Amino acid sequence: MSARVVQGSPELGAKIRMRRNELGFTIEEAAVKAGVGTKTWSRYEAGESIRRDKIMSVCKTLNWNMLPNQEESSLEVDLNDYRCSEVWPQALADSLGEAAAISFVIGSDILLDNIEQDLEAIACKPKGTHIGELDISWLKDILPAQFLPEYDYDFLYYLKNVVIRYRNQASSEKCFVARTVIEEIALYVIMKESQFLMESILPYFSSQESDLYDNWDSWPFDLFGDMDVVTCLYSDDYLTRDHIYHFEHWRKEQFYS
C-alpha cells in the first residue's frame, strides 16, 4: 500500500476521541466499525498519522464527511494506492476485475489484523478457549456460527496461515484456488471484511471506473464456481459430521478445478 498518509496531530487525535465519546462508542466499538484494530484506533487518538485508505472508514464511523481541518481532496481515492500494493493480485484483476482485486487487498489486510487481535486476546486465556469466550472478538460474528466452540488458538493460527499464503500468492500469474473449505471461508471472509470500506470508496470511482459497481462482491463465488460456502455455512442448516462442510473436514483437500 502507498505510504501516503494524513498527518496526525494532538489536536486531531483529541477531536477523534471527543467525537467517539459523543457517539457513545468505546475504542473497541469504534475500531470494529472502522475495520481496524484497537491499537490502530488508539494511535489515531494519540495523534499519529492515518493511512489514506483508512480515512473514509474512520470518517464514516464518526459520521463525518471528512476529517476536521482536512481538504476534501484528502478523501479522494487513487486506484494506484491499491495497484501498488505488494499484495495486489493482478491475475484476479485480469480475470474478475479490479474491484475484486481491490476487495482482496483491503479485506485481507483487515482480516489479518483482526486475526492478530483475536490471537493476542486468546493467548492470555486458558488452553482451549474459543473466541466466543472473549469479551471482544473481531471474528466471532463473521465466522460460521455452528462451529463457534472450535475457533481456538490453533484454528486462528491456521486461518492466519491461510490468509498469509494467499497474500504471498497474490503476485503469482495464477488466480487463487480454494481446495479446502477453510480456504473458501478465508476468501469469502476477506470479501466480507472489505465490504464496509468498498461501499465507502466505490462512489469515488463512478466517473472513471463505473464497472466497479457491478457485482463487485461476487468474486469469491466466481472463483469457487458456486455459493455452497454460504448456503451450507451461513444458513440455519445443521450440518452432520459426514457433510463435507462440517468443521471436521475443513482442512481436507476436497475441491479441484
Q: What is the CATH number of the domain that holds 37?
A: 1.10.260.40
> Could you tell me if 112 and 160 are in contact, meaning their C-beta atoms sit under 8 angstroms apart?
yes
Q: Does residue 66 fall inside a structural domain?
A: yes
124 and 163 inside one domain: yes
Burial tier of 74 (Cβ tally within 10 Å: 0-12, 13-18, 19+): middle
What confidence score (pLDDT) does residue 3 get? 41
Q: 43 and 150: one domain?
A: no
Where a domain ends, among 27, 45, 76?
76
Mark whether 98 and 201 lie in a shared domain: yes
Q: Are residues 96 and 189 in the same domain?
A: yes
182 and 221 together in one domain: yes
Residues in contact with 158: Cβ distance below 8 Å, sequence separation at least 6, in sequence order: 182, 251
Q: Is residue 86 part of a domain?
A: yes
Domains identified in the chain, total number? 2
Please tell me whether residues 100 and 69 are part of one structural domain.
no
Domain identity same for 28 and 154: no
pLDDT at res. 206:
53
Residues 71 and 164 in one domain: no
Whether 30 is in a domain gets the answer: yes
Residues 92 and 190 in one domain: yes
Length of the chain: 257
Q: Taking the model in full, what pTM does it have?
A: 0.80
Residues 160 and 34 in one domain: no
Q: Which of 145, 113, 151, 110 is nearest to 133 (CA)?
A: 151
Which regions in the chain score pLDDT beneath 70? 1-5, 70-79, 203-214, 257
- Give the C-alpha separation, 98 to 63, whole Å: 28
Of 76, 91, 115, the last residue of a domain is: 76
Inside any domain, residue 257: no
State residue 73's pLDDT score: 46
Show the domain range for 36.
5-76
Residue 96, in any domain of the structure: yes
